[in-house]
Amino acid sequence: MGAQLVTATHVRDWDPGDGRISTSNPGRVPTRSVGSGGPSTDAGAVPPRTHLAAGVFPPDWSEIVAHFREGLLVCAPDGVVQHVSPGAARLLPTVRPGDALTASAVPELAAMATTGERDGDLTHAGRRLRVRRVPLGDGGSGWYVEDVTEAVERADALLAEQSRSAFLARVGEKLGNPLHPDRAAAAATRLAVPTLADVAVLVLAPRAGRAGWFRAVRDGAGPAVVDRGVLAVGGLPPAIEQALSGAEPHTVDWLVEQAAGAGWLPGPAEPDRIARVVPVPGAAAPVGALLVTRSADRPFDEGEEALLRAFAARAGAALTTAVLYREQTRVADTLQASLVPVEPVATPGLRWGTAYRPAQAGLRIGGDFYGTHVLADGGVLFFLGDVSGKGVEAAVFTGQLRQCLQALRRVEHDPARLLGLLNDALLETTQAHGQGRFATMVVGVARSTPDGGAALTLAGGGHLPPLVLRASGEVETVPLRGMLIGVVPDPRIGRVDLRLAPGETCLLYSDGVTEARGGPLGGEMYGAERLVEALTGCHRMPAAALAERVEQLACDWLTDGDHDDIAALTVRADGGAG
């Protein structure tokens, strides 16, 4: 026997099955060789060539080859198949000894035989085969044929699973972001194409008898184009209605027609189109139904259907969150709107400016407040203050203060007495509710004078003293003191009368401006000196621009986004010009 596996004669007539060189075994595919043409019983009929020294017993190659997982073809130098191992015969039943491989019925083998290619992959009789050709010493060739069907399928399944996981991960990432229900629905529909469908339609659970739908259609190689519409509940396809009630419709034959009937398919119902509908689960009932259709070339196998349901679950979670967010923001917006400071109304002879920047950027409200009320005698009551605490609770308290002032100014026009009344009212409320809330504020009344100037009466309750921008360009600090409002009965309230010449401005601001921490080195307080310095020479600025400038100075000073509420209110004696 030869030391090599590679000569045709060595492998001839080996028994495929039981390991013996023996008579035919009908239970197995027999080895075929040139001349035998079938089950062979002539073991040893051809004397083997051997390079081994006499007396050394060679291994039984026929038995060994028969147990290989790889099949083996041996070709003569002229390309004619000399020998077909049992494994090869099983994998390539059409290849028989005596055939020329170049003319083989297996086109990939023929191609390899023609081109001299060494390695090839092919599918034959439902199996995935890998072929490896090795040149033999006698000029012939050995063809090792490996069945890789399972390995390839496992790899394909793994890849499919990986791509599904990746798809769902992407979906989760993309759907987590839009919190607006319409945007979430549009995003979900768009994401379904092309992975799940060529056309995807998301029908939202009906509200007030109408169901909104979003449709994504793949437009060539480009991304899906999303459009939307509304259907009356009566006009919904039955399968959609069924899915909206929570049941997944399994009779799917007529789905394509239903989708076409609803006008969702780009063309008429094509016979080679398939569709599925799944409920999009919500908190209690489904928030919608997802219809997907695609070409029949891509059937929905078990994995694909699981993917569709997993996608619908994610879309449902995103839609539920978005709807919940919408409802909550609607409540929050309504409440905020009642607490947002009201802009001053234009009054003859006086120009107003305001700036407001709450500490919490996502909120429009905070613990600073300002406002104006026109009094019956033509004067304007104005105020700016800051309550203890931050955020929503503080904002609610500012709302109470503003309502108090709104009511009290009907009985009292003098700012100092008004602050006294407000103090009593606050003390009563805070004592009744056991909450120790207090405020600092400046209340003033402004009246324009015939010369184009204005007369101001200011009362202070523990707030930062106002500044006055004089026509000379200088900035004066108004000597206004006083105690906190809402802490003790009968507090000391500061009172100052002042006159603005035409073009002069009075500025009220909150401590968020001067206590802004930052600066180029960080951590330093902005301070009243810097504010006075920065406003010196700004006397010609319009009232609104001045308030904005104060806000900007404070914000520019801040190094990080973290700051207290910032508010400013300016009143400028119009002077009949600017």
Partner 1 sequence: MASTDTATSHLVAAFPRFLDCLAEADEYAAVDVALGLLAAGVTAERILLELVAPAQAQVGQWWASNEWSVAQEHAATHISERVVAAVSSYASPRPVRGRIVVACMDGEWHALPPRLVAEVLRLRGWHVTFLGASVPAAHLVSYLHRHDVHAVALACAISMRLPQAHRMIEACQRADVPVLVGGRGFGVDGRWARRLGASWAPDGPTAASLLADEWSLARPPEPDLAHLTDDEYPALCRRRAELIESGLADLRERVPAVGAYTPAQVDSTTADLGYIVDFLAAALYVDDAGLFTEFVDWLVGILAGRGVPSAAVVRTLEHFAGLLRDFPRAGRFLAEGRAVAEAPAALSGG
Tell me if 392 contacts partner 1 by CB under 8 A.
no
Residue with tokens 């006083």: 482
Is position 218 an interface residue for partner 1 (rule: CB under 8 A)?
A: no
The answer to whether 148 contacts partner 1 (rule: CB under 8 A) is no
Enumerate residues 6+ apart whose C-beta is below 8 A from 136.
4, 6, 7, 74, 142
Q: Is 206 in the site for partner 1 (CB under 8 A)?
A: no
Does 312 bind partner 1 (CB under 8 A)? Our answer is: no
Query: Applying CB under 8 A, does 431 fall inside the site for partner 1?
Result: no
CA 141 – CA 69 distance, rounded (Å) = 19
Q: By CB under 8 A, how many residues form the interface with partner 1?
A: 40
- Helices marked H in 4-77: 8-11, 61-66
From residue 450 to residue 489, what is the string marking binding to partner 1 with x (rule CB under 8 A)? Answer: ----------------------------------------
Whole-number minimum distance, CB 223 to partner 1, in Å? 6
Interface with partner 1 by CB under 8 A: which range of 12-20, 427-435, 439-447, 515-523?
515-523
Angstrom distance (rounded) from CA 305 to CA 311: 10
Which of 50, 522, 525, 562 lies at the binding interface for partner 1 (CB under 8 A)? 522
Residues 6+ apart with CB under 8 A from 223: 190
Crossing angle for the helix pair 391-408 and 302-339, nearest 10 degrees?
A: 30
Would you count residue 3 as binding partner 1 (CB under 8 A)?
no
Among residues 22, 329, 403, 406, the one that binds partner 1 under rule CB under 8 A: 329
Q: At what angle do helices 181-192 and 149-175 cross, to 10 degrees?
A: 160
Q: Is 556 in the site for partner 1 (CB under 8 A)?
A: yes
CA distance 95 to 258: 51
Judged by CB under 8 A, the stretch of 24-32, 301-309, 449-457, 536-544 that binds partner 1 is 536-544
> What stretch of H or E contains 571?
strand 566-573
Does residue 139 touch partner 1 according to CB under 8 A? Answer: no
| Contact between 204 and 244 (Cβ < 8 Å) | no
Segment near partner 1 (CB under 8 A), from 21-29, 254-262, 419-427, 543-551?
Answer: 543-551
Tell which residue, 225, 204, 205, 223, has the closest CA to residue 215.
Answer: 225
Q: What is the DSSP string of 87-147?
A: HHHHH-TT--TT-BGGG-SSHHHHHHHHH--SEEEEEETTEEEEEEEEE-TTS-EEEEEEE
Segment interacting with partner 1, rule: CB under 8 A, options 34-42, 70-78, 172-180, 286-294: 172-180
Shortest distance (Å) from residue 183 CB to partner 1: 6
Interface ranges with partner 1 (CB under 8 A): 174, 177-180, 182-183, 187, 222-223, 325-326, 329, 333, 360-362, 364, 519-522, 529-530, 533, 537-538, 540-542, 544-545, 548-549, 552, 555-556, 561, 577-578
